Amino acid sequence: MPTRLVKVTPSKLSTWGSCRRRYRMTYLDRPAPPRGGAWAHSTLGAVVHAALRSFYDTAPPRRTVEAARVAVATAWSGEGFADAAQQARYRERAQDWVARYVTENDPTQVDAVGLERWVSAPVGTVVVEGRVDRLDSRRQPEAPEGEEVVVVDYKTGRRPLTEHDTRSSQALALYVLASRRTLRRPCRRVELHHLPTGEVHAFDHTAESLARQLARAEEQAAEIALHTDTLAAGADGDELFPASPGAQCSWCDLRRSCPEGRAAAPGLDPWAGLAP
Ligand code: SF4
């Protein structure tokens, strides 16, 4: 029998790797269990992503610092914040982040060939899918063929990032593979752009590093397919998809449907993830 291609997204694989109960509730249980309300830090991240998307969707001469600040104000949402005063503080902080970002990284030189672009391609035994924050066409000094596509991922979390985060990111590696096939262009460089610190961390994938990440994804996808089919055949869902209680349960959107998770970690205010 030919091998069945399994569709995977980086977030599916990440959820599978962190908690199988959460995977089942997110992707398999229907009707889907109710989710918790919005987190302020997630809203902040979504606002920054939306602002940068609209900013780079304009012609280069219009990509000014003021335009970046306006883009944040236009995209703003107060979901999850404690009150208007807290919203105002973080709106200004987000505006400062993007203002510094476009000051330190000349936006008129960015040739974005994809903004929140959906990429999808069969690779090995899986179909890799996902939405990439930005795909740049850029001349790489060591690329004799000319311009290559660069995968850019914006980050807004509290923790500063390192080159290791870029190198070890399964999501970025899978985006390289899917972008190559979707755009039919060379692609190997991945970059994490951390707005709170203004740092950019880059890594150039090799055939070996991509093969390692793909092999891991294929292994996870095969496990997911087997567990999904076994559940559909009538097996016990709690045994097949056990809970992984721990500190992560404080942040889980599905904790209200998970007694083990509620017992393992306390609930938090919706704004608890904001940097002080
Ligand atoms: S609350 Fe914890 S154990 Fe329960 S689904 Fe969420 S992450 Fe998994």
CA of 256 to the centre of ligand 1 (A): 9
Query: Is residue 148 domain-resident?
Result: yes
Q: Cα(94)–Cα(102) distance, rounded to whole angstroms? A: 12
Query: Is residue 54 domain-resident?
Result: no
Neighbouring residues of 207: CB distance < 8 A, sequence distance ≥ 6: none
Query: Is residue 170 domain-resident?
Result: yes
The atom of ligand 1 lying closest to the CA of 22 is: 5
Is the Cβ atom of 24 under 6 angstroms away from ligand 1? no
The atom of ligand 1 lying closest to the CA of 252 is: 6
The atom of ligand 1 lying closest to the CA of 249 is: 2
Q: Cα(26)–Cα(12) distance, rounded to whole angstroms? A: 9
Give which of 8, 7, 11, 5 is closest to 169, Cα–Cα: 11
Q: Is the pLDDT of residue 145 over 90?
A: no
pLDDT digits (tens, 9 = 90+) for 200-242: 999 999 999 999 999 999 999 999 999 999 999 999 999 999 9
CA of 127 to the centre of ligand 1 (A): 27
Tally of structural domains, the chain: 1
**pTM reported for the whole predicted model:** 0.95
Q: What is the span of the domain harbouring residue 171? A: 110-213
Is the Cβ atom of 261 under 6 angstroms away from ligand 1? yes
Query: Is residue 154 domain-resident?
Result: yes
pLDDT digits (tens, 9 = 90+) for 81-137: 999 999 999 999 999 999 999 999 999 999 999 999 999 999 999 999 999 999 999
Is the Cβ atom of 117 under 6 angstroms away from ligand 1? no
Query: Is residue 228 domain-resident?
Result: no
Query: Is residue 272 domain-resident?
Result: no
CA of 118 to the centre of ligand 1 (A): 28
Query: Is residue 104 domain-resident?
Result: no
CA of 152 to the centre of ligand 1 (A): 30
Query: Is residue 137 domain-resident?
Result: yes
Is the Cβ atom of 22 under 6 angstroms away from ligand 1? yes
CB-CB neighbours of 150 under 10 Å:
23
Is the Cβ atom of 19 under 6 angstroms away from ligand 1? yes
Q: Cα(192)–Cα(133) distance, rounded to whole angstroms? A: 10
